[in-house]
Structure 1
Amino acid sequence: MTDVTVRTLLRMKRKGEKIAMMTAYDYPTAKLLSQAGMHVLLVGDSVGMVVQGHTTTIPVTLDQLVYHANMVSRGAGDGVMVVADLPFLTYQITPEDAMRHAARMMQEGGVHAIKLEGGQSIVPTVERLVTAGIPVMGHIGLTPQSVHAFGGFSVQGRRAEEANRLVEDALALEKAGAFAVVLEAIPAEVAKVITESLRVPTIGIGAGPHCDGQVLVFHDFSGYTTGYIPKHNKPYLQLGDLIVQAAQQYVEEVQSGAFPGEPQTVHLKAEERDAFFEVHGEEAKGE
């Protein structure tokens, strides 16, 4: 697989080839998804909810995301683009803050691009980063870092006025230099208009089938999470159930003595065994 770059994604949109993107938070997951042919891996601040156990993404820190990004970048190997979120209030205050934090994410995290939530309000920041050579992926619609302002995780753009504003936000991000825009939890009709209006690709999550690509959270996709599952998700596995079943079998085998068995057991070589029990006595063999 050849390297996926911003130009690759633009070419895929022009050819009508769909882009597959998924979150990853560690080395083995990144390695497996890379082998599966994923085009883009997202080191999302969703790690706060699906890994850390928070109810929102807001508690996630820059240090934490840099740590996860570093693992994912090493696991992804060649051929896959790695994008990382900048977490809450690391880019919204000033473009200079965004520059410093994006530099850390790229230098220490090893990612190829960063993702920022917001529309027209972050245009100056996007322009500053792009001018400095930092590829930026936009993110509009339901932006989880603004969950408290929204009053919860809810679909955005249901009203015509809000939908028109989303179109304007997407166009403003493209003009500012964003190489792609994530559309989260918006009506499919709105996503279709945005996708057809932009030269750069759109990546949907809960935005219908008309986007240029789709992204899922790994833990939702794999059935690793428990409890509430978002409407837009399609579990391709029931990994959580499989882990519980396997762990129950392990507990039973440990308690019954079936594990470890002979295949998991190492013995002394015969000559060493004899020398060992000369010191400790034959009764120590326990046979």
Structure 2
Amino acid sequence: MWSNGMIRCIGRRWYSLQNSSAVAATAKAVHQLTVKDIMAKYHRRNPISMVTAYDYITASWAQNANSDMILVGDSVAMCSLGYESTTQLSLDEFQYHVGAVCRAPGPAFVVVDMPFGSFERSISDGIGNAFQLLHLNPKVQAVKVECGLSQDDYSLEYIKELVRRGISVIGHIGLTPQRVHSLGGYKAQGGQQSTDAVALYNVSQTLQQIGCFGIVLECIPHKISSVITDKLHIPTIGIGAGPDTSGQVLVQSDVLGMLPGHKPKFVKMFADFKKDAVSALSQYVQEVHDKSFPHIGHHTFKVNDEVYQDFISKIDTE
């Protein structure tokens, strides 16, 4: 039997770590959005919101903010792991983050990237890796695949095979970071020559034809994106593609101002977490140094006087 004192401890967080599993277990059951829900929102012409997340904390924020979709993006490579490029991210590393994101309770539709190297070796390897990501958690409902502009691009064949096997796919065209070297850098696509814009349009139509239920349009002039969106019967999610797409996606660390350095033109920073975090941590460090933290009584635990005196008497006799 537990003592009354032990019972009173239940539900209180004595340590600086919170049991996320317990939080998830006690959360109310919610309906997770499905492809059908996303398509219904598209047909009602309601804008679709998507934001990236890389761990339990950022996924919890996205869920609590009621984002329709969460993208576990390979941008975790640069935004969380300190790599210079998304191409450095391994599938094993990526799976760790997918699992963490999915442990956050909430209704958002979860999409995961197919990281660089996870499908390029062969169709069969790519299919196996896609299933591996889907097997991590039932919340993972779709994969996102970056595509080139050639009609015989390998990624189109891969996407077709995924769809044939019942895997929901979102295509990604325009600026595709995994192909940044072949694109000549991080540049807007489709605005210099009409042939490039036509190629974007054609591949968007192909992606719809082979079964994608949505397409990310990245760094494409808004007039071109508007036409592409208007000619499709599936939603487009824009990032640097203007306001006329069916929805928008941004990288969470950009939205919240988590990292220093240059922000892309298409980013709006809605907070300055880096400034606030450094300020808060600096205050903590200063209070540790001047011993104003922790404060006795407010940040400390009590000991029974008799227990304390007994403790002192025992150590004094040793």
Shared fold (TM-score greater than 0.5)?
yes
1:106 matched residue in structure 2: 134
How far the C-alpha of 1:281 sits from its partner, in A, is 3.9
Aligned partners of 2:286, 2:128: CA distance in 1, in Å?
A: 52
User: Are 1:47 and 2:58 counterparts?
Assistant: no
How far the C-alpha of 1:93 sits from its partner, in A, is 3.0
| Residues 193-202 or 273-282, more deviating | 273-282
2:246 matched residue in structure 1: 212
Structure 1 segment 276-287 matched on structure 2, within 5 A: 276-281=311-316
* Identical pairs, percent: 37
Aligned partner of 1:134 among 128, 148, 167 = 167
Aligned residue type for 1:101: N
**Do the aligned residues in 2 keep the contact of 1:21 with 1:42 (CA within 8 Å)?**
yes
1:92 matched residue in structure 2: 120
Aligned partners of 2:95, 2:240: CA distance in 1, in Å?
A: 27
Structure 1 segment 107-186 matched on structure 2, within 5 A: 107-110=135-138, 111-119=140-148, 120=151, 121=153, 122-158=155-191, 159-186=193-220
1:18 matched residue in structure 2: 47
| Residues 235-244 or 119-128, more deviating | 119-128
Q: TM-score, normalised by structure 2?
A: 0.86
User: Are 1:203 and 2:237 counterparts?
Assistant: yes
1:260 matched residue in structure 2: 294
**Do the aligned residues in 2 keep the contact of 1:135 with 1:178 (CA within 8 Å)?**
yes
3-state SS, counterpart of residue 267 of structure 1: coil
Aligned partners of 2:73, 2:124: CA distance in 1, in Å?
A: 22
Aligned residue type for 1:221: V
Aligned partners of 2:281, 2:106: CA distance in 1, in Å?
A: 34
Aligned partner of 1:9 among 38, 59, 67 = 38
Aligned partners of 1:165, 1:219: CA distance in 2, in Å?
A: 31
How far the C-alpha of 1:78 sits from its partner, in A, is 4.1
Aligned partners of 2:166, 2:160: CA distance in 1, in Å?
A: 10
How far the C-alpha of 1:94 sits from its partner, in A, is 2.2
1:83 matched residue in structure 2: 111
Deviations 1:206-263 (A, max 9, x none): 0000000000000000000111111110011000000000011011100000111121
Structural RMSD (CA): 1.4
3-state SS, counterpart of residue 83 of structure 1: strand
Aligned residue pairs total: 281
Kindly report structure 1 stretches of 4+ aligned residues shifted beyond 3 Å: none
Q: Structure 1: any 5+ residue segments left out of the alignment? A: 283-287
Q: Structure 2: any 5+ residue segments left out of the alignment? A: 1-29
How far the C-alpha of 1:89 sits from its partner, in A, is 2.0
Aligned partners of 1:234, 1:28: CA distance in 2, in Å?
A: 21
User: Are 1:271 and 2:299 counterparts?
Assistant: no
Aligned residue type for 2:161: R
Aligned partners of 1:229, 1:46: CA distance in 2, in Å?
A: 14
How far the C-alpha of 1:160 sits from its partner, in A, is 0.8
Aligned residue type for 1:194: I
Aligned partners of 1:231, 1:123: CA distance in 2, in Å?
A: 29
2:57 matched residue in structure 1: 28
**Do the aligned residues in 2 keep the contact of 1:67 with 1:109 (CA within 8 Å)?**
no
